[in-house]
């Protein structure tokens, strides 16, 4: 099987916003407690943050981490997480049927972000609460001092403002499962008034309004049209979420789901343009894809807690163990974000630690990398710069999610310094090696830097604490770059990062 790809120095899609490599930590399961925070752990620092987890987070260079939810935020009182710990209330989290004693709140989270070389992206509660709680939260976080809420922060020991720039206006407000679920009209008005108040405080904030929870919601895409009609002038991004599952154990269909993701982005792009035209606006609202990942492996085992009546503290929830097949899916999703860098300016892998996450921990034990850690790592490191149009001529297949799905899923990125082009490639074919010929137009003297590859004889292979290196990348030989032509043989079901110096 053969596939040809052409990239040209001057044919760019768009600069890639680094924030597409952001992530997410929710008060859910063991993401916070025994995830990032575990006082008494052998690697814990003076604040109780696990050093082994911080090292793994630093390595992936995730620029922003969304917090504190997710569904959790829709019944969250941010004030519960501030002030002396012994005075903080223990609450029942209705979203995940869990108890939370609020040992970690916004101040500790911001401290953790600094240690992990990342920045906070905060969400306000527009489910059970509204404008007033939101404006107070922003003042508490961002005002230097001399007002009630900012002085309270100073009194709590955080003299300097946190200067949080990215704010989500609620979470998945179209979902009936959400505490305080709203219609598009109700939410649109509330989000707009909240955004206006937040902007009166600081017009430089970047505000993210909720789009649909997924592209199968009955209100999609009317939801986006109504919400944007209300909020277009006062927000910057619209948020989309999508999770991937292979419940049918059908690899080709599973990997074709990227087509649906692409259509989702396209459709909402169209809705944005429609409202922009309707409002005679000059502004372009962007997409914040602030929850995405594979999520299905743990669904069955989670029912025990989600449908039980125990209200445990930091239980094992949403602890998907990712297999090699998921590497191919995550690599493909990241390719879509790179190809759609014109529309998608923020994206958050959901989530970061223990909960549908690339990083796992054992309480009192090691932290380790799941299989999907690697495609996220490579995209975050080598996927910064400019997205180049990669024109593909190759074999395709038909699927439930669309016809003519290319077996070769590729994105191409020119580095910020302009001295490297990196190809991220998934060969989706179950059995056939792809003979790749890529032409690099306008890049004289191109030469191979390295070809990193992930393959595994078993699609179901996973990493575990006991066997953390079962599915890992390796550097391979055989790829040649000569006279502006790259040639490589890509094994079936493989994930590839090919770096070319230009």
Residues forming the site for ligand AHR (CB under 6 A): 26, 69-71, 171-172, 213, 291, 350-351
With contact defined as beta carbons under 8 Å apart, do 27 and 76 qualify?
yes
Q: Which of 38, 172, 259, 325 is catalytic?
A: 172
Q: Is 139 a catalytic residue?
A: no
* Exposure on the CB side of residue 153, measured as CA atoms within 13 A: 26
Structure tokens belonging to residue 446 = 């191109």
Structure tokens belonging to residue 355 = 């909960």
With contact defined as beta carbons under 8 Å apart, do 76 and 98 qualify?
no
Bridging pattern class, strands 434-441 and 2-8: parallel
For Cα atoms 302, 347, 96, give the angle at the middle one, nearest 5 degrees: 25
Q: Residue 141 and residue 153: Cα distance in Å, rounded?
A: 7
Residue 70: cis peptide before it, omega within 30 degrees of 0: yes
Q: Residue 328 and residue 301: Cα distance in Å, rounded?
A: 24
Nearer to ligand AHR, 26 or 100 (CB): 26
Bridging pattern class, strands 98-100 and 91-93: antiparallel
Structure tokens belonging to residue 122 = 């905060």
Cα distances (angstroms) measured from residue 334 to each of 5, 9, 426: 18, 21, 11
Q: Residue 248 and residue 155: Cα distance in Å, rounded?
A: 55
DSSP 462: B
Residue 96 CB, shortest distance to ligand AHR, in Å, is 8
Residue 166, classed as helix, strand or coil, is strand
With contact defined as beta carbons under 8 Å apart, do 246 and 208 qualify?
no
With contact defined as beta carbons under 8 Å apart, do 160 and 154 qualify?
no
H or E element at residue 454: strand 447-454
Q: What residue has token string 């998608």?
A: 344
Q: Residue 305 and residue 320: Cα distance in Å, rounded?
A: 15
Helical pair 184-201 and 222-231, crossing angle rounded to 10 deg: 30
Q: Is 86 a catalytic residue?
A: no
Residue (of 245, 215, 374) closest to 320 by Cα position: 245
Q: What residue has token string 């925070």?
A: 37
Q: What residue has token string 């979470």?
A: 171
Nearer to ligand AHR, 91 or 154 (CB): 91
Structure tokens belonging to residue 462 = 């996973």
The distance of Cα 406 from the centroid of its chain, to the nearest Å, equals: 24
With contact defined as beta carbons under 8 Å apart, do 280 and 233 qualify?
no
Where would I find the H helices in 104-241?
Answer: 106-115, 131-142, 148-155, 184-201, 222-231
Q: Which of 26, 224, 259, 291 is catalytic?
A: 291
Residue 350 CB, shortest distance to ligand AHR, in Å, is 4
Q: Residue 263 and residue 249: Cα distance in Å, rounded?
A: 23
* Exposure on the CB side of residue 152, measured as CA atoms within 13 A: 15
Nearer to ligand AHR, 299 or 485 (CB): 299
Nearer to ligand AHR, 170 or 258 (CB): 170
Positions marked active-site:
172, 291
């Amino acid at each position: 099987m053969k596939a040809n790809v052409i990239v040209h120095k001057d044919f760019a899609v768009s600069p890639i916003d680094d924030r597409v490599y952001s992530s997410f930590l929710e008060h859910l399961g063991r993401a916070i407690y025994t995830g990032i925070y575990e006082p008494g752990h052998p690697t814990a620092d003076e604040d109780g943050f696990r050093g082994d987890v911080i090292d793994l987070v630093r390595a992936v260079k995730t620029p922003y981490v969304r917090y504190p939810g997710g569904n959790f935020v829709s019944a969250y009182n941010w004030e519960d997480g501030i002030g002396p710990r012994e005075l903080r209330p223990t609450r029942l989290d209705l979203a995940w049927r869990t108890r939370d004693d609020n040992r970690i709140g916004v101040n500790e989270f911001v401290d953790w972000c600094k240690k992990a070389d990342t920045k906070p992206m905060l969400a306000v509660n527009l489910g059970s609460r509204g404008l007033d709680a939101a404006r107070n939260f922003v003042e508490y976080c961002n005002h230097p001092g001399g007002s009630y809420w900012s002085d309270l922060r100073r009194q709590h020991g955080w003299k300097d403002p946190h200067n949080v720039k990215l704010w989500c206006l609620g979470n998945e407000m179209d979902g009936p499962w959400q505490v305080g679920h709203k219609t598009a009209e109700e939410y649109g008005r509330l989000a707009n008034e909240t955004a206006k108040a937040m902007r009166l405080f600081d017009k430089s904030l970047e505000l993210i309004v909720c789009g649909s929870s997924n592209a199968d919601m009955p209100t999609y895409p009317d939801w986006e049209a109504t919400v944007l009609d209300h909020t277009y002038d006062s927000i910057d991004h619209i948020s989309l979420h999508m999770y991937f599952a292979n419940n049918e154990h059908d690899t080709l269909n599973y990997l074709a789901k990227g087509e649906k993701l692409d259509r989702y982005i396209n459709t909402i792009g169209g809705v944005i343009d429609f409202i922009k035209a309707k409002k005679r606006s000059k502004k372009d609202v962007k997409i914040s894809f602030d929850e995405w990942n594979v999520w299905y492996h743990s669904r069955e085992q989670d029912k025990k807690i989600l449908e039980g009546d125990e209200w445990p503290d930091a239980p094992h929830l949403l602890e998907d163990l990712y297999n090699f097949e998921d590497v191919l899916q995550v690599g493909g999703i990241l390719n879509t974000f790179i190809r759609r860098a014109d529309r998608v300016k923020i994206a958050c892998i959901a989530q970061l630690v223990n909960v549908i996450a690339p990083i796992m921990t054992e309480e009192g034990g090691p932290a380790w990398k799941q299989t999907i850690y690697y495609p996220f790592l490579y995209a975050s490191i080598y996927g910064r710069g400019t997205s180049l149009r990669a024109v593909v001529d190759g074999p395709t297949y038909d699927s439930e999610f669309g016809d003519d799905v290319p077996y070769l899923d590729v994105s191409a990125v020119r580095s910020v310094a302009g001295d490297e082009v990196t190809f991220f490639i998934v060969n989706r074919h179950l059995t056939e090696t792809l003979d790749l010929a890529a032409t690099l137009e306008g890049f004289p003297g191109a030469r191979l830097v390295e070809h990193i590859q992930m393959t595994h004889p078993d699609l179901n292979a996973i990493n575990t604490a006991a066997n953390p290196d079962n599915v890992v990348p390796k550097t391979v030989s055989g790829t040649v770059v000569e006279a502006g032509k790259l040639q490589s043989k890509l094994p079936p079901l493989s994930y590839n990062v090919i770096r070319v110096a230009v």
